[in-house]
Amino acid sequence: MLRIGLTGGIGAGKSTIAEQFRERGIPVIDADEIAREIVEPGEPALESLVSEFGEQVLHPDGTLNRGGLAVVAFSDPQSTAKLNSIMHPAIAERTREHYERHADAPIVVHDVPLLVENSMTRLYHLAVLVETPADIRLKRLVDSRGMDPVDAQKRISAQASDAERLAACDVVIDNSGTPESAQAAFAKVFAKRIQPFADNLAAGRTAERSGVQLVPAGEQHVQTAQRLSSRISYALTEAGLSDAEVEHIGSTSVPGLLAKDIIDLQVLTTTEAEWDAAAEALTAAGYPQHYVDAFDDWDDAGHVAKRFHRNADPGQPVNVHVRTRGSLSARFAAHFAERLRTDAALRADYEGTKKRLAEQHIDDRSTSRYAEAKEPFFTPLRDEFRRSESS
């Protein structure tokens, strides 16, 4: 199952995109509906609220008095914490029930207004943002919903900023224009990214790559690496590998360095015995194993084993190197990235090598021949590193 988190600021028109998913037969779990469901008469959460805050949180007909609840629940931090301790577990449990109801669906969407505010990106294979600039959202809230402009602006300001949402989400659908333009944008994203991702995930296969193209590493690579690392860390923790670490390595971790537009991540486990569990977790998270037997070549030092995974998501190339913590290869990967940040001569030499090889392997769609051609560049650096480590 491909899990998608759908979000957007108030007034962004998220419901327009949610409906596009529904029209394609894809289940949409609505977080707002769940929050209403769990406090209906007879629900345990409502009974807990009454027990904690008193009858004042009920209307005479037994339904929740949201205004009355707000008065007491937000009166002090302790009361707010009690409210959250009742609501959050109940919402999580009901959400789990909805997921189980759609366990056979290839794609399930979780519509969550506060996905970014609640740091939920890690829970999904993709976080989809319905983006509309704040000034347009303000106008919509006033014109379409009849909200007071001051109140509408307060609500917008209380949520995450546009920049925070962009950093936390993988897919952006522009809904600043007409509904038709938003629908067209969604259709393109669905056909080129979402459906292929779901197909790859179900088949346990990696996505095809578009070839060797070098771009300067920038802040977007750092943000993407942070987003992906949080997902992988969550998946590994859920699999019982809470001690595993995820590091951003490779050229995209060096600001300004010419790099393939591929995020390289290093997963560090305590022992090789944990690699099978890590492989299962990574595959489920959208990173199937690419090579059955992978290794780092240290020449006369021998081959150092590793596992190598790649992305099932056709929209974001990722290499995941699974190594043991403290191994020679793991230490060298971090060391090399740091040297590129601080050694201008090495950086210039590496960039020159990359440019030359990229031109020679311009037709290498898989990037494997380009990667192999770079190996001689690393040999003296590995030898130097090994000598320094053993001295």
DSSP-assigned beta bridge partners for residue 2: 107
* Residues in binding site: 11-16
Q: What is the pLDDT of residue 158?
A: 84
Class of the CATH domain delimited by 214-390: alpha beta
Taking 70 as the threshold, does the pLDDT of residue 293 lie above it?
no
User: pLDDT over 90 for what percent of the chain?
Assistant: 73
- Mean pLDDT (the chain) is 92
Q: What is the pLDDT of residue 109?
A: 98
pTM of the predicted structure, to 2 decimals? 0.89
* Residues in binding site for ATP: 11-16
Structure tokens at 216: 């300067």
One fold for both 2-203 and 214-390? no
Handedness of CA 102, 103, 107, 109 (dihedral sign): positive
Q: Please, which pLDDT band fits residue 302 given cuts at 50, 70 and 90?
A: low
Q: Please, which pLDDT band fits residue 292 given cuts at 50, 70 and 90?
A: low
- Pairing outcome for strands 126-131 and 2-7: parallel
CA 372 to chain centre: 29
Taking 60 as the threshold, does the pLDDT of residue 363 lie above it?
yes
Topology of the domain covering 2-203: Rossmann fold (3.40.50)
| 308-343 per-position pLDDT tens digit | 999 999 999 999 999 999 988 999 999 999 999 999
| 141-184 per-position pLDDT tens digit | 998 788 888 888 988 888 889 999 999 999 999 999 998 999 99
Domain map (residue ranges) of the chain: 2-203, 214-390
Q: Please, which pLDDT band fits residue 297 given cuts at 50, 70 and 90?
A: low
Q: Please, which pLDDT band fits residue 29 given cuts at 50, 70 and 90?
A: very high
